[in-house]
Amino acid sequence: MQLGTRWSAGGDPPARLTEAFVAQVRAVEADLPAGERGVARWTLTWLEGRPVAELDLGIVVTLDHTGRVVVRHDDEDEFG
């Protein structure tokens, strides 16, 4: 695992992320209650070269083994 960075929901994600990945991050942020925007924070790490962005509210945006962007809640099984 490689440590990345943190940023506030609604802020600018790291430029290294693909457009498709950022689009899913923005879609998650669009569904947040107004009071969470700018308060909730994303943590970006890299696992096996793939980005994993976790919102401190428990929402995870990552890439699957085919490169497809996946959104899940941290209590869901990543492989099921």
Could you give the angle at the alpha carbon of 29 between the alpha carbons of 15 and 5, nearest 5°? 40
Q: Residue 57 sits in which domain range?
A: 2-73
pLDDT of residue 42: 96
- Residue 75: pLDDT band (50, 70, 90) is confident
- Does residue 34 sit within a domain? yes
- Does residue 78 sit within a domain? no
- Does residue 80 sit within a domain? no
- H helix or E strand, kind and range, residue 57: none
Count of structural domains within the chain:
1
Indicate whether 3 pLDDT > 90: no
* Whole-number Å distance between alpha carbons of 46 and 1: 6
pLDDT tens digits, 24-70: 999 999 999 887 777 899 999 999 899 999 999 999 999 999 999 99
